[in-house]
Amino acid sequence: MTAVKVSPKFQVVIPKDAREQLGLKAGQELQVLVYEGRIELIPVEPLENLRGFLKGIDTTVERDPDRL
């Protein structure tokens, strides 16, 4: 595990090996999530990349008669 320092402007540098493993690019957006005392950075995927990722999912659901 690689350690990083927080700059006086509260910035951190994501280590090169982590950037390469995740395929991060300069300018890419990351979602910041604080969870159980830690910070998680989650890459935001453009909607174009998500098209079709649920292909084959079963969309049949039981509906109430008044919701048809």
According to the model, what pLDDT value does residue 63 have?
A: 83
Torsion of CA 25, 17, 30, 8, to 10 degrees: -110
Domains annotated for the chain, with CATH where assigned, are 10-55 (2.10.260)
Q: Where are the beta strands (DSSP E) in 4-67?
A: 30-35, 38-43
4-60 per-position pLDDT tens digit? 999 999 999 999 999 999 999 999 999 999 999 999 999 988 778 778 878 888 888
Q: Report residue 68's pLDDT band, with 50, 70 and 90 as the boundaries.
A: low
According to the model, what pLDDT value does residue 62 have?
A: 84
According to the model, what pLDDT value does residue 37 have?
A: 95
Tell me the pTM: 0.61
According to the model, what pLDDT value does residue 60 have?
A: 83
